[in-house]
């Protein structure tokens, strides 16, 4: 238990860099720390999960200050995996990651 508390305290310190407000919750079923970060205007900035040793895990989403999704992707043990999508007003970039490196890139216009 003491180790979990120390890891959790360390994680709070690490993830708080550059963030104004966040909510953290340990999901006892998955043993992952669920986190929500907020912009200064209290709109959600990012959502995702960490392992108890501080590595990014699972789906992560990022949003702009108006709440519009800007990035969606997945991590596995701290590494980017699979397809990631980067949204702008004009385009969607689809980036496929393999071994934490870009394997392919597609860009399409939003119609």
For residue 5, the cross-strand partners are: none
Q: What integer pLDDT is reported at residue 105 of this predicted model? A: 92
Structure tokens at 90: 């004009």
Q: What integer pLDDT is reported at residue 100 of this predicted model? A: 87
Could you state, in order of their start, the residue ranges of all structural domains in the chain? 2-109
Give just the sign of the alpha carbon dihedral 52, 55, 58, 62. positive
Per-residue pLDDT tens digits of the chain, which is 111 residues long: 444 444 444 455 455 445 469 999 999 999 999 999 999 999 999 999 999 999 999 999 999 999 999 999 999 999 999 999 999 988 999 999 998 899 999 999 877
* CA-wise closest residue to 27 among 70, 57, 69: 57
Structure tokens at 25: 């919750």
As assigned by CATH, the class of the 2-109 domain is: mainly beta
Query: What pTM value is reported for the model?
Result: 0.77
Residue 66 has, within 13 A of its CA and on its CB side, a CA count of 4
């Amino acid at each position: 238990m003491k180790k979990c508390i120390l890891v959790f305290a360390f994680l709070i310190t690490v993830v708080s860099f550059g963030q104004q407000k966040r909510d953290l919750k340990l999901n006892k079923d998955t043993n992952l720390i669920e986190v929500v970060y907020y912009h200064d205007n209290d709109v959600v900035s990012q959502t995702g999960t960490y392992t108890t040793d501080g590595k990014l895990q699972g789906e992560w989403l990022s949003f702009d200050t108006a709440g519009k999704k800007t990035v969606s992707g997945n991590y596995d043990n701290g590494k980017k995996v699979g397809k990631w999508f980067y949204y702008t007003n004009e385009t969607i970039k689809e980036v496929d990651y393999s071994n934490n490196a870009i394997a392919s890139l597609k860009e399409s216009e939003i119609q």
